[in-house]
Structure 1
Amino acid sequence: MAKKESKTYNHYVPQFYLRNFSGNNSIGVYNFDRKRFVDEDSISSVAGQDFLYGKDNDLEDWFRNLESKWAPIIKSMLVSETLPVDSTEYTYLLMFVYLSDVRTAEKADDYKKSTLEEAKRIVTMISAQDDIDLTDDDMEGLDVKIDRPNLSYIQGMPDMIKIIADLCPLIIVNESEIGFLTSDNPVAKYNKWFMERNYQHPYGFGHIGFQCFVPLSPRICFCLYDDTVYKNQFSDKNRVRLYKNNNVEELNKLFIQNSYTEIYYAKESRGWLEDNVGVKKEYEKEEWIMGSPQDGYLQKVSNRCVFDYFNMPIFKTNSFFKTAPFPYCEAGPLRKSAYEILEQKDKD
């Protein structure tokens, strides 16, 4: 039997998903590094990286199998403007959200960078203890090669699905004149409560007050939010409609801030994007290092978070959380599901 040809170019944003922002097999792309718009770029050639998922096809094939399940679920959401009723389909939707966040190029680059920095500190410590001379050029020349750098995040999915499952789902239907954008980081994470309280702490899926927005097309966005903190002011159901341009603009600005290197857009959105692409800021990841070469190092690195305030009238913060104290622990305020899993891991 002939050897199966390796799929060298791995898409970290699914092609079926990007086609929802295009009428054909091309999509608009704005690249921040090149500061260039391309109104019709081939979907097959964007949002991918050679061998991101390793030299074999195992992880790529695993994702393709999942995408064959995700595509009809999301198509149904776009047509019906409703959430999946079937519990299995809803679980697949949560898997789509989590994996779309952790399979990206940014996550891979972050893992490589933190691993390299850790390796350099270990080398520095060993050289200091063994009295080995290393020049700055020697240190700069160090590099690491990691097969499937996203794998550790992907393997965390079972626990993360338990955490995400306690968030309240919401379909946001865009009835304005401005279409939703998406990016090479299609899951836009946010915490309005943190911003309102000026609590500059990294946040993620397990934090109290967490929100995430996943634009599924220029007209439909899927949202998950902590309904113990926020009340949906627009509806008592799990679907809202946005008619005002400025409400959609606020979400699009969040999507721009959340992006890594590229924005993807339907052709008719270029005008608005040209006027607003400059809102993107470079947020530095919080990082601290303690220790010395002789005694060893303690390192902490957090993921990049958006700390701008965006006006989201859909969500009103419940009165208790306007004055509730924040914990002093390093993890920050965690929801019960996240705290229990973290506590269990500490016991294990």
Structure 2
Amino acid sequence: MASNKNQHFVPRCYLKPFTIKGEGAAINVYNLDRRRLITNAPVKNQCSRDYFYGQDDQLEKAIQSLEQWYGSVISEIIEPGYKLQLEHQYTLKIFWLFQYLRTEGACRRSAEMFEDMIEPTGLDSDFSMSIKEAVQTAMRAFAENMEVVSDLKVCLVRNATSVPFLVSDDPAVLTNRWQLEDKRTRGGSLGLRDAGAILLLPLSPTIFCLGYDPDVYRVPSDSGWLTLRNATDVEALNEFQVLNCRANLFVGSLDYAEGLHRFVDEFIHHRPAARHIVNFAIFEGEETAEHKKYRVVSKSDFKDAHDGIMHAQTISQIPSQWPSFLLRRNKSCAYYNGTGIGYLRQMHAAMIETARPFFKVSPYK
């Protein structure tokens, strides 16, 4: 049985730089639903649930080990004069992936999507996925896909403005500027293997971790660091925390309290009304040796069908602006084979065996 009942899905070691005076005891919480700033809230009560990961002692120890690994790295990163190290880049990417998969918001979205797909089939409720089952699924996905973001480049962003980086209860964000903007890919779900992938993770009020596909973008960094002097760029990164979070934003200093209220009022309306959609289709009766023709229908029409398919699609958050330092690479490239697999990064295209070979394409023509 797990030794700790109160288990955090955003660890205290991660939240510590955002706490009041960086002491790790208390933090200021901005609740989006109530539009209210709660000051001096205990960190131990934030982003946690009783036995969130279940009662597997080995799993709990593995999680603690990863968190300690991250904690030791972040303690070095926040020291003055730190230079980005290759092994630390790997740690940050692994921690991002773990954090991306494991939060309550992420697991609740998985459970809700599963429920929306099960309900039209008429299957018994025993087939529904609980939050804890979604957590276990996320942990397996992490163990099986630890290298999925290893080919991305990491840049640390230093904040030299008066606007702090914000953090939320679902802080690790996946986005993809190219795919959200390009007519060939617009409207689809974003994947971890996709060309143009971008990883976002605030590390402290003054340091931000950016992971990106170096075959699609370029970032004018110096030895792995980029300094921001324009508050608009900071707000462009902070907007993703508003778009992605489940309920709460966190800030250490009350100096930004008034600015935070204004910021939330400006960007909260950009939050998507739904985080996923399930599409339904039924067989129309036309069939060849290679194809079957399906027609998109409503959920109610799908329930009575004898031959149907469902497709779950994640709704991607589209920001109102992108940071000015995220630039297009002139000789950009992605890999595509004309199928629904989509546009992949080179490493992942090379790992997939398909009847149709991948060929190199230019995202930015």
The reply to whether TM is greater than 0.5 is yes
1:142, CA displacement in angstroms? 9.2
1:282 equivalent to 2:258? Answer no
> Do the aligned partners of 1:196 and 1:309 also contact (CA within 8 Å) in 2?
no
Tell me how far 1:144 sits from its aligned partner. Answer: 4.9
**Identity across the alignment (%):** 20
Letter of the aligned partner of 2:230 in structure 1?
K
Indicate whether 1:13 and 2:10 are aligned. Answer: yes
Following superposition, the deviation at residue 320 of structure 1 comes to 5.2
Are the equivalent residues in 1 in contact too, given 2:156–2:208 (CA < 8 A)? Answer: yes
1:90 deviation in Å?
4.1
Q: How many residues align?
A: 323
Match 2:206 to one of 219, 226, 231? 219
Provide the rounded CA distance (Å) in 2 between the counterparts of 1:261 and 1:340: 40
Shift of 1:201: 2.1
CA contact (8 A) 2:336 2:344 kept: no
| Residue 52 of structure 2: aligned partner | 52
Q: Tell me the SS of whatever aligns to 1:302.
A: strand
Secondary structure at 2:146 match in 1: helix
2:30 is paired with a residue of what secondary structure? Answer: strand
Picking from 242, 252, 257, the partner of 2:238 is: 252
What's the CA shift for 1:103?
Answer: 0.7
SS at match of 1:169: strand
Taking a change above 3 Å as real, the CA distance of residues 42 and 341 of structure 1, as seen in their structure-2 partners, is farther
Aligned to 1:330: 340
Higher relative contact order (CA 8 A, sep 6+): 1
- 2:74 is aligned with what amino acid? I
Shift in alpha-carbon separation, 1:197–1:321, aligned structure 2, 3 A: farther
C-alpha distance in structure 1 between counterparts of 2:327 and 2:247, whole Å: 32
Q: Distance in 1 between matches of 2:202 and 2:131?
A: 31
SS in 2 for 1:275: helix
Cα distance change, pair 145–213 in 1 and its aligned pair in 2 (3 A): closer
Distance 1:147 1:214, change over 3 A: closer
Counterpart mapping for 1:287-298 below 5 A: 287-291=278-282, 292=302, 293-298=304-309
Q: Which runs of 5+ in 1 are unaligned?
A: 127-138
SS in 2 for 1:163: coil
Residue 197 (structure 1) aligned with residue 182 (structure 2):
yes
The equivalent position to 1:207 in structure 2, one of 176, 194, 204, is 194
Give the aligned partner of residue 37 of structure 1. Answer: 37
The change in CA–CA distance for 1:325 and 1:159 in structure 2 (over 3 A counts) is closer
- The corresponding residue for 1:113 is 112
Which residue of 149, 154, 176 corresponds with 2:134?
149
Q: Distance in 1 between matches of 2:89 and 2:330?
A: 31
Cα deviation 1:234-263 (Å, max 9, x = unaligned): 335321100111111111112221222211
Larger strand share, 1 or 2 = 2
Give yes or no for contact 2:103–2:169 (8 Å, CA) kept in 1: yes
Partner of 1:307: 318
Per-residue CA shift, 1:241-300, capped at 9, x if unaligned? Answer: 001111111111122212222111122332221101131233232431223444254222
Decide which moves more: 300-309 or 260-269: 300-309
CA distance in 2, matches of 1:290, 1:153: 28
Shift of residue 202, structure 1, vs aligned partner: 1.9
SS of the aligned residue for 2:145 comes to helix
In the TM superposition, residue 310 of structure 1 has moved relative to its aligned partner by 2.0
Offset at residue 176 of structure 1 (A): 0.9
Letter in 1 for 2:158: V
* Greater alpha carbon shift after TM alignment, 208-217 vs 26-35: 26-35
Q: Residue 360 of structure 2 corresponds to which residue in structure 1? A: none
Q: In structure 1, how many angstroms separate the alpha carbons of the residues matched to 2:352 and 2:7?
A: 32
Cα distance 1:53–1:5, how it changes in 2: closer, same or farther (>3 A)? closer
Q: Which residue among 145, 153, 172 is the counterpart of 1:187?
A: 172
Task: Give the root-mean-square deviation of aligned CA atoms.
Answer: 2.8
SS of residue in 2 equivalent to 1:209: coil
C-alpha displacement at 1:325, in angstroms?
11
Q: Deviation digits for residues 26-75 of structure 1, max 9, x if unmatched?
A: 11111223332112111100111222211344433321122111101111
| 1:64-79 matches, cutoff 5 A | 64-79=64-79
Q: Deviations over 1:125-147 (max 9, x none)?
A: x9xxxxxxxxxxxx8x9965464
Normalization by structure 2: what TM-score?
0.79
TM-score if structure 1 supplies the norm length? 0.83
Q: What residue identity is the alignment partner of 1:18?
A: L
2:2 and 2:60 in contact (8 A); partners too: no
